[in-house]
Amino acid sequence: MRDEDSRYEAVRSRDARFDGAFFFAVRTTGIYCRPSCPAVTPKRHNVSFFATAAAAQGSDSAPAGAAARTPYPAPPSGTYGPTSSAGPCG
């Protein structure tokens, strides 16, 4: 998934199929999360997208929520994106 509008739609709908495929950071809060994050959906103009959690954190964003301390399982093989060893949102 490369189109930013499609990525935002995955965030808006909290589509867990895209967890690990990309992360998003919110400029106004300074946090980053995975697409299925249960937090209030940020306004589109405040969102940036990143291929990895490390890239999002490198943008001076911090992981969101208690799940920042908890790895989430990698998406099954053949799903929408690469795997990641840890995810930042609950």
The CATH number of the domain covering residues in 4-69: 3.40.10.10
pLDDT in tens, 29-88: 999 999 999 999 999 999 999 999 889 988 888 888 633 544 544 444 444 444 444 444
- Name 40's Cβ contacts closer than 8 Å, sequence gap at least 6: none
- The confidence score (pLDDT) of residue 62 equals 82
Please tell me the pTM assigned to this model. 0.72
Amino acid at 77: S
List the domain boundaries for the chain. 4-69
Nearest by Cα to 56 from 47, 65, 43, 44: 47
